[in-house]
Structure 1
Amino acid sequence: YTLEWRGDVPDGFEVVLVPVRALTNQRRYARFSAWVADDLARRHADRVVGFNKMPGLDVYFAADPCFEDKARNLRSALYRLSGRYRHFSAYERAVFAAHARTEILMISPLQQTLFQKYYATPDERFHLLPPGIAVDRRAPADAAHVRAEFRREFALASDDLLLLQIGSGFRTKGLDRSLKAIAALPAVLRDRCRLIAIGDDDPKLFRGQARTLGLANRVSILRGRSDILRFLLGADLLIHPAYNENTGTVLLEAVVAGLPVLTTAVCGYAHYIAEADAGLVVAEPFEQARLDQLLAQMLADPQARARWHAGALAFAEHADIYSNAERAADVILKERR
């Protein structure tokens, strides 16, 4: 069941487009839930698995952060009087309430604490999944050749330092922080640096910031694309100083490609960077000066980057970060209480 579908339908799947409309998102989602419940009453399903919080789910895939926590800490008290708040709060409660029966597939351990803070959800209903990194993101046997060809294509000299930032939602991902950190580098490092940011977002604000910081000729902002592995292999560092990030899949995509990472501790997958010895993590509370310091430290130390590269590839060999779908299937198919 979905409100829209793009692309081909996989073999063996039935996609049901739910024909509901409304002037507001919350009203549209309420009508969607009601339509689905009515259809399921006529056409029985063994399991109902949802990617959006809503009543009637057997299993919920928790890709989104805790709504209640954001509403209470990032919004004014007046927001909690709105119809939008009442809708999304009730739908989240339908999944996470202590008396509910929905099994919860978690992709970040950080969010479980928040859900339990507001809903007292029992531990046994949470199931932490491996990240589910695609195996084709791993560094191939000809990684060195791919890197050399990429750097030739982008006119990167052997001593140039390419920083990579990947992910739509440039504001949330901290692109402004990255630009400030590059501008703060010592001239001897800054003059060797280039930044490529990739994502489907409006780049106007950040191109303006780059011009203001004197970085216009060192920053390229590209639309989302399918050949991300080439960029991961061709770069020298992934920088991801997000303001808020439930997981941060790109962190692990960089790790399995052997690319050192600089990120922030708010990212759900930041702990993997420390476990893999694949880079550095800016602790909370975030300080721009600390990001500036760590970026300069990483770029000035090729031996450390080589160690992080080796640590990342070794981690990719043995870590359980690929079996997301298999573990999820086990939870979905287990006998219901």
Structure 2
Amino acid sequence: MNLQTHSQTQPLRIAFIRQRYNPYGGAERFIERALGKLVRKGAEITLITRNWDGAPPHDYRHIICDPHYSRHFGGRAARDRSFAASAQRAMREGNYDITQAHERIPGCMIFRAGDGVHAAWLDHRGRDQSPLARMATRISAFHRFILHQEAAMLAAPELRAVICNSDMVREEMRRYYAVPDEKLVVIENGVDLNHFHPALADEWRIRQRQALGIDADVPVFLYVGGGFMRKGVPQLIAALARCTSQHGRNSCLVIVGEDRHLKTYQRQAEKAGLSARVLFTGPRRDVYALYGMADAFVLPTRYDPMPNAALEALACGLPVLTSPTCGIASRIIEGENGFVVDALDVDTLARRIDTLAAPGKAERMRAAARASVIDLDLDTLAGKLLSLYERLR
């Protein structure tokens, strides 16, 4: 399909809006993959951003929107408010055929809810907060601003479609904001099935284990992501300490990513006597090698709309242990390609780690894990986006 406007003389002009580039961020990886495919299909792409430094080479133009804001008076809310106002002007002035925001910015034609529904996240976050902590969260300037932006954007007349990256997000859009079904389009994240595949184990299993000092026969559970509290790192460490089987007690947890409270989790592992079995690697660009090293992937997240890391792990043949408040849960068949456990249920997490650590158990689930995402190749993703754009233009 060649993307051209009605006149058939100019390429379809699409603007994407995302604040900043994070080389380890799921939204950024989605944008890189989708934009590359769209450019090759003939689209003219503009990225409206505050900062995209460090991104790989690309064939689309940038508009930098980085107006002044006070870091001391307003903080994150002031930052996001200033970017939203600047991005709105850029959208209006650009005469684009399609505007697709990956931030909560009223006035866009399409909103991709890659970060989910903020109102839903606050409810999930509050499950084990004290009443005082829940109140503090709700009255914070940042969260009030995001909730206002979310509601205003979903009610704006310009909005014609919401891309939900999981069935979970679609249901939350209905429940929290009564978004009409005709505006809700489920397009799950794509995964590079040629780059992430089970054969990575042949190349990296032994090499990476040797590099990290892990024996060849030790069960290895891999976590990839930032935001350790939200994505379940404290529960994983606690669960590992409660494993009862011999293989569960001998297993290792490898945590890939960065978090400003890293020392807190290192101390938790140390107090639990797990310093030698919980390894913090920091962020890694060669995460594919770690998928090749691991036996299973763990992400008991309190809230994650559709984590790219879980898709990549499944593509590599790793069974996934996750939570019902994770978008990937809809692709998990209990006992076949993983397990779904409440993010705060440490005892059940420990039992599932014991199960996956049993000799041969994870290995027998590899084919089912790979098969569960075989329909999410990048060409399929691009095709679904193109179909949506053709319908809306």
Per the normalisation by structure 1, the TM-score is: 0.87
Q: Which AA in structure 2 matches 1:112?
A: R
How many Å separate the matches in 1 of 2:206 and 2:199?
Answer: 14
What's 1:87 paired with?
Answer: 145
How many Å separate the matches in 1 of 2:343 and 2:204?
Answer: 38
What's 2:79 paired with?
Answer: 28
Change (3 A) 1:212 1:9: closer
User: How far 1:4 moved relative to its partner?
Assistant: 1.6
Q: Which AA in structure 2 matches 1:294?
A: R
How many Å separate the matches in 2 of 1:38 and 1:263?
Answer: 40
What's 1:63 paired with?
Answer: 114
How many Å separate the matches in 1 of 2:302 and 2:277?
Answer: 23
User: How far 1:166 moved relative to its partner?
Assistant: 1.0
User: How far 1:105 moved relative to its partner?
Assistant: 0.9
Cα contact 2:114–2:165 (8 A) shared by 1: yes
**Counterpart pick for 2:176 among 112, 118, 127:** 118
What's 1:320 paired with?
Answer: 376
User: How far 1:101 moved relative to its partner?
Assistant: 3.2
SS in 2 for 1:165: strand
User: How far 1:15 moved relative to its partner?
Assistant: 0.9
User: How far 1:274 moved relative to its partner?
Assistant: 1.3
**Counterpart pick for 2:367 among 294, 299, 310:** 310
What's 2:104 paired with?
Answer: 53
After superposition, residues 191-206 of structure 1 pair within 5 angstroms as: 192-202=250-260, 203-206=262-265
1:335 aligns with 2:365: no
Q: Which AA in structure 2 matches 1:5?
A: W
What's 2:223 paired with?
Answer: 165
How many Å separate the matches in 1 of 2:370 and 2:107?
Answer: 42
Per the normalisation by structure 2, the TM-score is: 0.76
Change (3 A) 1:10 1:171: same
**Counterpart pick for 1:263 among 322, 327, 341:** 322
User: How far 1:307 moved relative to its partner?
Assistant: 1.9
RMSD of aligned residue pairs (Cα, Å):
2.7
How many Å separate the matches in 2 of 1:69 and 1:313?
Answer: 30
What's 2:302 paired with?
Answer: 243
SS in 2 for 1:238: strand
How many Å separate the matches in 2 of 1:117 and 1:108?
Answer: 15
Cα contact 1:52–1:60 (8 A) shared by 2: yes
Q: Which runs of 5+ in 1 are unaligned?
A: none
Q: Over residues 205-248 of structure 1, what are the superposed CA-to-partner deviations in whole Å (9 max), with x where a residue is unaligned?
A: 11101110011122210111111111111112212211221212
What's 2:278 paired with?
Answer: 219
1:274 aligns with 2:333: yes
Q: Over residues 76-131 of structure 1, what are the superposed CA-to-partner deviations in whole Å (9 max), with x where a residue is unaligned?
A: 46766665455323321233238663311110211222222232211011110132
1:298 aligns with 2:349: no
Change (3 A) 1:70 1:294: closer
Q: Which AA in structure 2 matches 1:242?
A: T
